[in-house]
């Protein structure tokens, strides 16, 4: 189901305010090009080395830079995409592992840990309008109680089970 269809179904069931929350959460979970793709698979990689630093140029004009060990991303990488999105954080053996910062062109910001290439643990998502979402990921999916804080201070909570709102 697309995020738009999920938003429409949620709006009919729960109203406009919470459907906005769901839409932001769903849109914010999409991965960008290059997320957890081995460096050898990237088009136009200029690494060519077993160690050192690599620059990866995506076909759409995006650029990723960071250290390479034994031909794999290993260490802190900065990934800038053609649409203006930015992702920064550490890789361990070509998989995201550790705290990442993701900023999208529309102003959405996400921060939280990856474990072995999947979102895991407490994440904070901020919408362009200042709505703050905070909650857990388990095995790459939202799972557990999420707190939503609106700019006026109003709080709400949403329960997710294996990535789906309940």
In the 8-state DSSP scheme, what is residue 45?
A: B
- Strands 118-119 and 75-80 turn out to be unpaired
What is the pLDDT, as a whole number, of residue 15? 45
Residue among 145, 90, 142, 143 nearest 117 (CA): 90
- Is 3's pLDDT higher than 70? no
Q: Which residues pair with 121 in a beta bridge?
A: 137
Residue among 124, 142, 141 nearest 133 (CA): 124
Task: Summarize pLDDT for 101-117 with one digit per residue, the tens.
Answer: 999 999 999 999 999 99
Distance in angstroms (rounded) separating the CA atoms of residues 148 and 134: 7
What is the pLDDT, as a whole number, of residue 118? 97
What is the pLDDT, as a whole number, of residue 50? 58
pTM greater than the 0.75 cutoff: no
- Is 31's pLDDT higher than 50? no
Average pLDDT over residues 32-47: 48
Distance in angstroms (rounded) separating the CA atoms of residues 104 and 140: 19
């Amino acid at each position: 189901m697309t995020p738009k269809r999920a938003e429409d179904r949620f709006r009919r069931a729960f109203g406009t305010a919470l459907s906005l929350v769901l839409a932001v959460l769903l849109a914010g979970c999409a991965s960008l090009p290059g997320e957890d793709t081995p460096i050898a698979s990237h088009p136009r990689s200029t690494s060519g080395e077993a160690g050192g630093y690599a620059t990866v140029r995506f076909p759409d004009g995006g650029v990723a830079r960071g250290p390479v060990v034994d031909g794999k991303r290993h260490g802190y990488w900065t990934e800038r995409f053609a649409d203006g999105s930015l992702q920064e954080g550490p890789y361990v053996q070509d998989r995201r592992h550790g705290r990442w910062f993701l900023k999208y062109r529309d102003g959405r910001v996400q921060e939280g840990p990856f474990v072995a290439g999947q979102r895991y643990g407490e994440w904070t998502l901020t919408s362009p309008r200042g709505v703050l979402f905070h909650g857990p990921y388990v095995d790459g999916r939202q799972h557990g109680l999420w707190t939503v804080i609106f700019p006026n201070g109003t709080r709400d909570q949403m329960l997710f089970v294996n990535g789906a709102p309940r």
